[in-house]
Amino acid sequence: MKQLLGNQHLIAQIRTAVREDKAAHAYLICGAVGSGKKTLADIISTMLMCPEGGCEQCVCCQKVEKGIHPDLIRLRGDNKNGTYSVDQIREIRKDALVYPNEGRKKIYVLEEAEKMSPAAQDAFLKILEEPPAFVVFLLLCSDESRMLATVLSRVIRLALELPSTEQSLSWLREQAQAPDDLIRTALGAAGGNPGQALSLIKEGKLKERIANCEAFSRALLTGTAYDMAAISHKLAADKEEFAEFIKTLALYFRDIAVYKTAPTAELVFADSIASLAGYFVRIRADGLLRTIEGLQQLAVQVTQSISILLLEMRLVTLVRTNCI
């Protein structure tokens, strides 16, 4: 069975439900990107498909493991922006009425389920309310706030929690085979999320993001608003990367806040913070918390339909207003 860091209580919960023939027809697997939603969905699928409840040895289990089981249907939004169209949901409804090819169940895994529009979710409700007995829906979701209450009321929620730091470090050392200081920095930059930390290491973007945070902070402390705006504008060319930069910047400013109160504390960005430490006297301690909270909100706004130029201006104004 695939390894899921921590969250063993969720696996035990599903195993008990399958053994007692009380598994639900729909589960909402929620958690941050990289938290293990797909892994948990595969584990649940194996338990539901296998005649032995997930023996890991039979042909059924092997097909699920390899992603070739004909009754395990993995879906993503079919629109250009990754959203689910109403027509796609209607096709799912029709297909769900067809009996499984060879499995005990027919399982639909909807990745990024929050990308169903309200209209698409309304269309989905028609099959979610009264599905065939052989159908199970696994909705993978990173933002529950975008799901309709009517949908949430008809699913069993499985919330993934982050594993302990030691569990995450041990797993990352096996998976990444990178220097330990890089692994620790990546885990800290990912907010303790091992999946995101592994992506940072493999994609090689961590050093660049730290350098951007340092450059932005240096512009705040020794430069001008124009210098900050220039950095912001350059990064905003890639909307997704801009959001990740802002998230990292929030963690960077958290390190600054920690350093100002406890200089000997362990920091995520220790080397970079040390290079700027002499300037921190200029930063108002009372504004750091407001800055961090504002950055977290701004990172969410980047993913919404808001002018990117407006968000660039908000970023510079937020940091300068609260810190200097």
Same domain? 147 vs 217: no
Same domain? 146 vs 45: yes
55 domain residue, yes or no: yes
35 domain residue, yes or no: yes
Is the Cβ–Cβ distance between 172 and 62 less than 8 Å? no
| Six token digits for residue 302 | 């980047």
Query: What local confidence, expressed as pLDDT, does residue 125 receive?
Result: 96
Is the Cβ–Cβ distance between 40 and 6 less than 8 Å? no
In the numeric block, the tokens 């990064």 are attached to 235
Query: What local confidence, expressed as pLDDT, does residue 81 receive?
Result: 83
Same domain? 127 vs 233: no
Query: How many other C-beta atoms are found inside a 10 Å radius of the C-beta of residue 195?
Result: 23
Query: What local confidence, expressed as pLDDT, does residue 187 receive?
Result: 93
Domain count, the chain: 2
Query: What local confidence, expressed as pLDDT, does residue 80 receive?
Result: 82
CA distances from 5 to 10, 42, 63, 245 (A): 11, 14, 23, 26
CATH number at residue 285: 1.20.272
Last residue of a domain, one of 136, 159, 182: 159
Last residue of a domain, one of 133, 159, 185: 159
80 domain residue, yes or no: yes
Query: What local confidence, expressed as pLDDT, does residue 2 receive?
Result: 67
Distance between CA atoms of residues 24 and 43, nearest Å:
15
Taking 3-state DSSP, the helix, strand and coil percentages for the chain, each rounded to the nearest 5, stand at 60, 10, 30
165 domain residue, yes or no: no
Q: What is the residue-level pLDDT of the chain in tens, covering all 324 positions?
A: 567 888 889 999 999 999 999 999 999 999 988 889 999 999 999 999 998 888 888 999 999 989 899 999 999 999 888 899 999 999 999 999 999 999 889 999 999 999 999 999 999 999 999 999 999 999 999 999 999 999 999 999 999 999 999 999 999 999 998 999 999 999 999 889 999 999 999 988 899 999 999 999 999 999 999 999 999 999 999 998 999 999 999 999 999 999 999 999 999 999 999 999 999 998 998 999 999 999 999 998 998 878 999 999 999 999 999 998
Same domain? 64 vs 139: yes
30 domain residue, yes or no: yes
CATH number at residue 106: 3.40.50.300
Last residue of a domain, one of 159, 193, 226: 159
Same domain? 12 vs 155: yes
Q: Domain range for residue 225? A: 205-323
Query: What local confidence, expressed as pLDDT, does residue 177 receive?
Result: 86
Same domain? 147 vs 253: no
Query: What local confidence, expressed as pLDDT, does residue 34 receive?
Result: 86
176 domain residue, yes or no: no
Same domain? 104 vs 228: no
Same domain? 28 vs 126: yes
184 domain residue, yes or no: no
Q: At what angle do helices 180-189 and 194-203 cross, to 10 degrees?
A: 120
